[in-house]
Structure 1
Amino acid sequence: MNQFNPIIEETTSVWDSVGIPPRGNELYAALNKGLSFDVFRQISELTQLDKKEIANVIHLAPATLARRAKAGHFNREESDKFYRFTEVVNAAVELFEGDLTAANQWLKRPVKGLGGKKPIEMLGTSAESEAVLDLIGRLEHGVFA
């Protein structure tokens, strides 16, 4: 008798890929302590964005970036910016049903629902990030207006 053995693919979440806990006490502790500088490299690899471009998107000055590279970690405010950035990337990947390439392409193109801005350009403030997340939520639910 043949026995059914399903193949279970283990997928790595966006959160695991960049090294940020997705929620809860681990997340709060990590943000308050300051995320490792390695998170920056991981986000760059995941999104296929140049590190300089990411720093520009989240408004991190080159001198600050150099100091953080030396220290090996970011401060709380900078860590929060990386969290918001990752939250939007994660939502975009979910919108495109796990297709990271499609999500990255969408993030880099002007979007009518954001007034013609690229989603990636709207990650510098909480309000802008929320606007991108709101749009993704509307797209997921078929609400275009």
Structure 2
Amino acid sequence: MSEKQIGNRTTKRRGSKVPVAPKGGKIKRFSKFSPAWVVGHSKDAPGYNLELINRIRMGVKKSDWKDLIVKIGHSEKELEHILPASISSMQKRSIYSKETSERIYELAKLYSLGYEVFDSEESFKQWLISPSKSLGDKKPFELLDSSFGFQVVENEIVRIQYNVYS
């Protein structure tokens, strides 16, 4: 277990919460490797991908899903078409299935990449809802209902990152 010196106190890093400041200014602490943490810390830790696989297998907690929704600034209703489960069935569960958990982490990783590539979170969100010629005049957000759609959108973001336009 590693330790980190903060001011005059030492914090333990294993299993610790990572502080993230939302728009309101108060610090919200997301647990390490939760979907909301992934948005701000993509590939930030050793064993990152293996840990995400473990988290998907264990299932995402409802509280972690709610944190992600707040972090990316959407409502459950806006994300309903992306998830393989209905909102009503998700509200009944405390831990989600492997398939639903995988889609949640795909969403978190996509937003992490988008926030990194675009100048602002708002610019990325605007790009997601704007028709793209390279995507057949479809809105990228419309393609996020399948893993293949996530890959197509991710590839487009990487092209933008490297100024390779189709």
> Fold-level match, TM-score > 0.5?
yes
CA–CA distance in structure 2, aligned partners of residues 61 and 53 of structure 1: 12
Matches within 5 A, 1:25-64: 25-64=50-89
Matched residues, number = 130
Residue identity over aligned pairs, in percent, reads: 22
Aligned: 1:114 with 2:139: no
Compare the two structures and name the one with the higher helix fraction: 1
Provide the aligned C-alpha RMSD in A. Answer: 2.4
Deviation at residue 17 of structure 1 after TM alignment = 7.0
Deviations 1:78-123 (A, max 9, x none): 00011111121111111114x2121122212222221122222211
Deviations 1:38-87 (A, max 9, x none): 2221222122211112122224213322322xxx1111110001111112
| Larger deviation, residues 79-88 vs 59-68 | 59-68
Instruction: Tell me the TM-score normalised to structure 2 length.
Output: 0.68
Aligned: 1:85 with 2:107: yes
CA–CA distance in structure 1, aligned partners of residues 58 and 109 of structure 2: 19
- Give yes or no for contact 1:122–1:129 (8 Å, CA) kept in 2: yes
Question: What's the secondary structure of 1:57's corresponding residue?
Answer: coil
Question: What's the secondary structure of 1:139's corresponding residue?
Answer: helix
Q: Per the alignment, do residues 46 and 108 of structure 1 end up closer, same or farther by CA in structure 2, a change over 3 Å counting?
A: farther
Question: What's the secondary structure of 1:56's corresponding residue?
Answer: coil
Compare the two structures and name the one with the higher strand fraction: 2
- Give yes or no for contact 1:92–1:107 (8 Å, CA) kept in 2: no
Structure with greater contact order relative to length (CA < 8 Å, sep ≥ 6): 1
Q: 1:96 aligns with which of 111, 114, 118?
A: 118
Q: Per the alignment, do residues 81 and 112 of structure 1 end up closer, same or farther by CA in structure 2, a change over 3 Å counting?
A: same
**Structure 1 unaligned spans of 5+:** 1-10
- Give yes or no for contact 1:19–1:39 (8 Å, CA) kept in 2: no
